[in-house]
Structure 1
């Protein structure tokens, strides 16, 4: 994980430092706490200046400060992980490996071929000195954040950054679309004072659509959000990146009107673990589930082993298991997605290493109102002890805190139940169930201090709820149970696994049932195709900025390219069957995999979004719609809070 930034100005107008906001620099450093460097490149003969700023979170290989510059004056900023496609040795750093390969590219086609081969999340900025070219972009799913900003004047500054600061100015930041890779000819920009973006879009290797149609669709989509004075053009050679996944299989079985589960008697009203066992009695279904489990397990393995494990992990240095540090954490609600990820992480994380399960709860509204009451001074004292700062929490006893009702939200209850299932699967593992409790006061404070800047440029009620919940969860500050007592704990894990992508591909949301009832399987296929197409703009840039703010890296096993291709290869009824009840029909293949992994009650839990499971959605307003613009994300003075 890194924070990367580039600002381009024309020397006659301004210097790059005029546009490098101190707040943005601070947020970039939070993403990359291990190294921060800046480099200014001036092409005096062409009158343009570029500032490159790199901030590194060191996770694997040798520590490599950014930006990198080679003997030919090429400059590279990289925020990504190469899991496959390009070889990265155990002691190598992927930033250096990528820069080396890029420097060998003698043509546009070579650059596109390199990025087409990558498997893993990335965003990058690459200055190609000999051609005065600036390349940049995000991976196919947009798993790493990159924002751009254009001055509202012709010949003004152009900026790229991993994270910005909330602004109400006319020069709004926007997320760089994950539509392909962009290139700017800086020589032409300096000469004409007119900014033109050249696009190299993604296409499937066996593209059904003509290249011209792909270009026109993407150009129309991206252009509508650009200022009038910025041009977006297709590259003259009509070159494309090759998508890292296969297209969605939209095949609908001839017997699709018949419920695939009808051979299992009377499951409409009675759903149990035995119901899942009935599906697994079918040999084809069982083989499919095992193939899925294998590909998802490999995706998790890549994400939990691709990080440095220091000397402190060795038995000779740390004799007590309880003294070992967690390297991997899971955003954990006890729901089916996080349970399967945790169970698979257990198969690959070294046994002597704890796994942190990050479980967030927001104080329930009724208790938040009663907190100021003096009717019961004893309970009030216990409660205030729990809500106080970290310094005041040191001697909090489990028997008083564990049963405090104000944080017994749905995700806390299912999380505790899920912990017991995981402990049953592997009692030798240290599972740190981290209870992260958030009060209304702290929510308001941290939203205004930093969370609103991370969610920006997104701005809806839904973005606020999810963004705040993920920020507090991934911060990892809470309590863990230790021999009957709750002890203050802060997760040291730099890698945070999240289950996003499961619902989008396996019809997990309630809107998928509505779509299925209205439009059948054909309509559901279209809906699922749209889900992945928009996941970069709806979720992933925001979540990367949120989690990265703690100097941690978000990793998404369900969006591993092999996992997505596996899902895309299957007809819809092999993945989900929405004729079956909630808690079984949606994400059916995942529930069957969970059953095979030894999970029990959690295999039947229906979908519950984090904003409802953590109770943040109920805390401040009940009258809003998720799509409404959220006024709480705007900047206010301290007196207004």
Structure 2
């Protein structure tokens, strides 16, 4: 994972030999392993390339990389398939070498169509004065652009600046395809033309679709325009189309929970008696397990440690962490990750809770109770004792389910060291870190929901909290550079309440369209923001539910095999994932209803209770 940036100027007066200090600082936080800058100058333009690398695989390769022909490449991605990268090789160098031998546009598009995994890139093609850039199909890596209103220059960057007093004009580069800019022509015309090579299925009859280009152009300065490339070339979408098939006859459920009776594990087990459904579940387990295996093994480890020696090292550090609520998504990820991470290596389970200042440090088991407490605090501490863990904050829902999930994982593999990291955030620290750092990372997104999720993910991925062990309580800082997150499961498997509402009003056809819409907007709604927030700690977000093979598998299934929203919450949504959980041996977590992170972590209760998720959030504004 990297922080990449390219600043282009068509005027000597606007050209700087260095990036602004705040932008450079944010880029370095993303890539602490190496930093490098490179200049390219022509009669008509000046380019400053800046690369900052988080080393995770192969030999450390400083960026930007350049070749003998003057081409320059910046890569913020991971190749998990499609393009061959050996264990000892670095994917940045492999991608650059492949680009250097591309003879034309079609070759470049063919290369990026093959790549499986998250990416954003910037590629300067010296001979043609072209600048290519873009994000993967799902937009799993952030890339922003900022254009000078007078056409004097522009900037591409993983993160934006934090300048006060100037209107924020950074926007996310849409994950609509790959863009190309002819730098020479811009210098002459003073008009910036972005040529788009869009994602398509089949790449047939690609025309100038004004409806598709309008959303890209709407917020750009008048000197910037977006057009489809003249050759009508495109990238091949990396996943198959969503199965929109509807049943020919009314469906018969394998089990119907009686009204008023909560679903049980037996309710789910009844589905697994059907041979076809069990086969679907086993296929899902396989494809998701392979996706997780790729994401937990592509990490630099100490190769000198044999498994027998490593298992005896009580102080061995975790290389992989999971954003962990104890819910169905994070539990399945943790269970499958356990199959592939070396046996002697701990796994960090990052559990965030927003609680009152007095409860920031967990209480040890031997700590004496404070006599003067209000009724709520007393109940909270009593609950903790009954759970055999007398530490506060247990009234936060995700902390309760997280501890319960920890016990399930310990039962499945008691020999694994599961580091359940209790990350407790006070209102004071929330406000301080939001002002100093988080709001600049969340932008250009600006809603109350972006604030809640952005802050929760930033604190969780920082990994600074407490471990409660038999020996007491100790502070803990996660060393894991890779963080697995369950994003993508709800979008594909009808996990949100809006899916149920759409089903109740428009049936399975409406539900299909809602799922299609969710996947189509996930790049602009979630992933760029989460990449910026997690990357700020010098860590890399990895999304197994958005692996290309996982998405293609789920897209191949008819909607009724993924969810049954005639069944109550806690079973009907994400049904196929719940069946996976049962098949993997999970118990109570398989039946937990969906709980949004902002409510599970209680961040939504910290400041204003009357806000709507879609409201513009004043707390994210840089200006007074």
Scaled to the shorter chain, the TM-score interval is over 0.9
Aligned match for 1:303, one of 295, 299, 313: 295
Aligned match for 1:346, one of 333, 338, 355: 338
5+ residue gaps, structure 1? 369-375, 381-396
Does residue 238 (structure 1) correspond to residue 235 (structure 2)? The answer is no
Does residue 35 (structure 1) correspond to residue 22 (structure 2)? The answer is no
Quote the residue 1:212 is aligned against.
Answer: 207
Per-residue CA deviations over 1:335-370 (Å, capped at 9, x if unaligned) read: 0000000000000001110110000010059989xx
Give yes or no for contact 1:165–1:456 (8 Å, CA) kept in 2: no
Quote the residue 1:260 is aligned against.
Answer: 253
Give yes or no for contact 1:300–1:344 (8 Å, CA) kept in 2: yes
Give yes or no for contact 1:267–1:275 (8 Å, CA) kept in 2: no
CA distance in 1, matches of 2:453, 2:404: 23
Give yes or no for contact 2:146–2:155 (8 Å, CA) kept in 1: yes
Give yes or no for contact 1:84–1:119 (8 Å, CA) kept in 2: yes
Give yes or no for contact 1:398–1:486 (8 Å, CA) kept in 2: no
Q: Go from structure 1 to structure 2 and tell me whether the alpha carbon gap of 1:287 and 1:178 turns closer, same or farther (over 3 Å shift).
A: same
Deviates more, 1:402-411 or 1:115-124: 402-411
Aligned match for 1:251, one of 225, 234, 245: 245
1:211 alignment partner, SS class: coil
Shift of 1:17: 3.9
Give TM-score scaled by structure 2 length: 0.93
2:431 alignment partner, SS class: helix
Deviates more, 1:311-320 or 1:519-528: 311-320
Quote the residue 1:22 is aligned against.
Answer: 21
Equivalent residues, number? 607
CA distance in 2, matches of 1:576, 1:400: 33
Give TM-score scaled by structure 1 length: 0.91
Give yes or no for contact 2:168–2:444 (8 Å, CA) kept in 1: no
Per-residue CA deviations over 1:418-474 (Å, capped at 9, x if unaligned) read: 000001111111100001111111111111110111101111110000000000100
Give yes or no for contact 2:492–2:554 (8 Å, CA) kept in 1: yes
Quote the residue 2:131 is aligned against.
Answer: 134
Query: What value does the CA root-mean-square deviation take over the aligned residues?
Result: 2.3
CA distance in 1, matches of 2:100, 2:259: 60
Shift of 1:115: 0.2
Give yes or no for contact 1:358–1:476 (8 Å, CA) kept in 2: yes
Aligned match for 2:217, one of 223, 229, 238: 223
Does residue 88 (structure 1) correspond to residue 88 (structure 2)? The answer is no
CA distance in 2, matches of 1:265, 1:175: 45
Mapping for residues 401-480 of structure 1, pairs under 5 Å: 402-480=389-467
Per-residue CA deviations over 1:282-304 (Å, capped at 9, x if unaligned) read: 01100110001100000000100
Does residue 54 (structure 1) correspond to residue 51 (structure 2)? The answer is yes
2:124 alignment partner, SS class: strand
CA distance in 1, matches of 2:413, 2:309: 25
Shift of 1:228: 1.4
Aligned match for 1:182, one of 179, 188, 193: 179
CA distance in 2, matches of 1:268, 1:407: 28
CA distance in 2, matches of 1:131, 1:206: 25
CA distance in 1, matches of 2:305, 2:400: 32
Per-residue CA deviations over 1:8-65 (Å, capped at 9, x if unaligned) read: 00134421447x221010000000000001011111xx32000000000000000000
Aligned match for 1:165, one of 161, 165, 179: 161
Aligned match for 1:530, one of 472, 496, 517: 517
Give yes or no for contact 2:311–2:343 (8 Å, CA) kept in 1: no
1:65 alignment partner, SS class: coil
Per-residue CA deviations over 1:293-336 (Å, capped at 9, x if unaligned) read: 10000000010011111257446875733211101000000000
CA distance in 1, matches of 2:476, 2:463: 8
CA distance in 1, matches of 2:422, 2:591: 23
5+ residue gaps, structure 2? 361-368, 374-383
Give yes or no for contact 2:203–2:234 (8 Å, CA) kept in 1: no
Q: Go from structure 1 to structure 2 and tell me whether the alpha carbon gap of 1:636 and 1:200 turns closer, same or farther (over 3 Å shift).
A: closer
Quote the residue 2:4 is aligned against.
Answer: 4
Shift of 1:634: 2.1
Give yes or no for contact 2:319–2:479 (8 Å, CA) kept in 1: yes
2:570 alignment partner, SS class: coil
CA distance in 2, matches of 1:295, 1:315: 26
Quote the residue 2:318 is aligned against.
Answer: 326
Give yes or no for contact 1:124–1:136 (8 Å, CA) kept in 2: yes
Per-residue CA deviations over 1:519-551 (Å, capped at 9, x if unaligned) read: 111111111000011000000000000000010
Deviates more, 1:464-473 or 1:221-230: 221-230
Quote the residue 1:292 is aligned against.
Answer: 284
Quote the residue 2:363 is aligned against.
Answer: none
Aligned match for 1:201, one of 198, 201, 206: 198
Quote the residue 2:142 is aligned against.
Answer: 145
Give yes or no for contact 2:23–2:162 (8 Å, CA) kept in 1: no
2:603 alignment partner, SS class: coil
CA distance in 2, matches of 1:307, 1:37: 22
Give yes or no for contact 1:326–1:353 (8 Å, CA) kept in 2: yes
Quote the residue 2:381 is aligned against.
Answer: none
Deviates more, 1:158-167 or 1:399-408: 399-408
Give yes or no for contact 1:194–1:230 (8 Å, CA) kept in 2: yes
Shift of 1:204: 1.1
2:351 alignment partner, SS class: strand
Quote the residue 2:329 is aligned against.
Answer: 337
Give yes or no for contact 1:465–1:616 (8 Å, CA) kept in 2: yes
Quote the residue 1:278 is aligned against.
Answer: 270
CA distance in 1, matches of 2:283, 2:528: 30
CA distance in 1, matches of 2:372, 2:291: 46
1:24 alignment partner, SS class: helix
